[in-house]
Structure 1
Amino acid sequence: MMNVLIFQHTQGEGPGAFCDHIARHEDAMQIVHLYKGQSIPPLDEFDLLLVMGGPMDVWETGTYPWLTIEKQAIRTWVRDFNRPYLGICLGHQLLIDALGGTCARMQIPEIGVLPVELTGNGREDPLFASLPRQFPVLQWHGVATADLPPDTAVLAASDGCAVQAIRVGDCAWGVQFHPEIVQGTISTWMEDKGNHQCAVDWLGSADAALALENESDRIAADQYRMTSEFYSALRQF
C-alpha cells in the first residue's frame, strides 16, 4: 500500500480522478489544503507527491507566503528523497520553479480542449509511452515554462505552449494541462464567478465558456483512463 501526499491550492481544484485511482489500489492519501493554512506533514511518511493546480502564480510569494514553504518541500522531495512526483498545471510550474527553472506570463493564454503531441522522449517515457502520439486535453493557463531546470526532458508540446509535459530526473513529472478532470469538473469551476469571468475574457464570450464545459465532459472518460495509467506507472517507482 502507498501513502500519497497531495498539495491543494484552492477549494475547487482537488485531485479529481486520482481519488478513484488511489481508492482502487487501496492506497492512503492525505490532502494538505495550503490555502487554508494547513501545515505540510513530515515528508518521509509518504511514497508519492501529487501537486494540483490553482489560480496563483509561482512568483506570488508575497500574497501566498506558503508557496515558499511548498517549493522547499518539492525541492526536498525530488532532489533529496527522489520519490515519485506528479504536478498538474500550477504543480507543473512549481516543479520547474523549485528546481531552478523559471516560468513567465504568456502573451496569449491557452484555454480549451486542445491537442498535445508527444515528443521523442515522451514516446519512450514510463508514464506517456502507452498514450497516442497526439491526444486532446483540457488547457487553462496563462503562464508557461520560460527556462527548464537541469536534467529535464520535454515529453509533450502543443502549438500554443512548447512545454506541455516534462520529466525531471528519474521520477518527477509535470503536466501543464488538467488530466484529473471528470464529468462536471469544469461546470463546477465555472460556478466560481472569478473562474467564469476568466474563461469569458480569455475565450471571448459566455457561449464559448459554456462550450468549454461541454467539450471537457466529452473527453473526461479518456482523461480518466490516462490518469489511471499515470497512477499505475507512478506506483512502480
Structure 2
Amino acid sequence: MPRLLIVKTGDAFPEVIAQHGDFEALFRRALAEAGFTAEVFDARLEPLPDLAGIDGLIITGSHAMVSDAEPWSEALKPWLVSARERNLAMLGVCYGHQLMASAFGGESGYHPAGRESGTHEVSLTDSGREDPLLGALPRHFPTQLTHAQSVLAAPSGAVVLARNAHDAFQALRYGPRQWSVQFHPEFTPEVMRAYLARQVDKLRDQGQDAHALMRRVTDTPEARSLLVRFAETVTSHAKR
C-alpha cells in the first residue's frame, strides 16, 4: 500500500463533524471504499513532515482564506514546491487547490462574482479529456462546490483541465503527477446540504436561494471517483 498523507488545512462546521465527520474523515471514508488508507497531518498544529517515504499528498479544504496568508499556510508553500520537485503525487481540493496554485506562482483570492455553492456541473477541457487522472470522467459531470475564493490566475505552465461558467480553473495540473480541483470529491449530498443550510444569508445577499440549491443537490459519483483514481495512480507509481 502507498503511504498517502492527508494535509488537513481546516475543520468542517461542528454539525457536519458531529453527523458526518471532519474533512479528513470524509476523505478517508471515500478512500476506504476501495481499500486505501491515509495518515493525517494537521498543517495548522504540527511541524512539516519529511517528504521522504511519502507517496502522495491530499490537501484538504478549509474555512480559511489563502489570501489571508496565515503563517501555517504560507509555510506550506515551499514544502509543496519541494514535493513537486520530487515529483510527489499531489491532489489539492478547494483550499488545497487555491494554495497549490498560489504556491506555484498563480494567484488566488475572492471571486468577483461571489460565492459558488451547491451541486454544479463542470466540463473537461480538451486537455482534461486526455489527462491520466480526469480523462476517464464524462465530458460534463456534477460536482459539489462551496467557495468564496478561487484561483484567479493559473501558474505559468499549468494545464487547465476543467471549468464552468463561474470558474475558469475548476481543475489544474502542474506537473506529471500534481493536480488540484476546486470542487469537493469527498462531499456527499448530505454534507453539501449542511453547507448550504449554513449559507442561507450569505447566498441571499448575492441573490441566490439556498433552499432551491438544496433541492438541486444530487450525488456526484464521477467527482468522487477521483479520490480512488488518485490513490490507484499513487499505488501504480510506488510499485515501480
- Report the TM-score, using the length of structure 1 for normalisation: 0.84
The 2-side partners of 1:233 and 1:67 are apart by 27
Q: Which range moves more in the overlay, 128-137 or 180-189? A: 180-189
The 1-side partners of 2:139 and 2:52 are apart by 36
The CA deviation string for residues 76-109 of structure 1, in whole angstroms up to 9 with x for no partner, is: 1112x11100000110111111111111321112
Distance 1:86 1:232, change over 3 A: same
**Aligned-pair identity (%):** 27
Partner of residue 23, structure 1: 32
The 1-side partners of 2:43 and 2:216 are apart by 30
Is the 8 Å Cα contact of residues 17 and 224 (structure 1) preserved in structure 2? no
Partner of residue 61, structure 2: 53
Partner of residue 224, structure 1: 224
Partner of residue 209, structure 1: 210
Partner of residue 105, structure 1: 110
The 2-side partners of 1:92 and 1:33 are apart by 17
Shift of 1:31: 1.0
Structure 1: 5+ residue runs without aligned partners?
none
Q: How does 1:57-72 map to 2 (within 5 A)?
A: 57-61=65-69, 64-72=70-78
Q: How does 1:64-213 map to 2 (within 5 A)?
A: 64-79=70-85, 81-109=86-114, 110-189=116-195, 196=198, 198-203=199-204, 208-213=209-214
Q: Which range moves more in the overlay, 174-183 or 155-164? A: 174-183
The 1-side partners of 2:222 and 2:159 are apart by 25
Q: Matched residue of 2:38: which SS?
A: strand
Distance 1:33 1:214, change over 3 A: farther
The CA deviation string for residues 45-85 of structure 1, in whole angstroms up to 9 with x for no partner, is: 21000001112221212xx3101111121111112x11100
- How many pairs are equivalent? 226
Shift of 1:199: 4.5
- Report the TM-score, using the length of structure 2 for normalisation: 0.83
Partner of residue 4, structure 1: 4
Structure 2: 5+ residue runs without aligned partners?
13-21
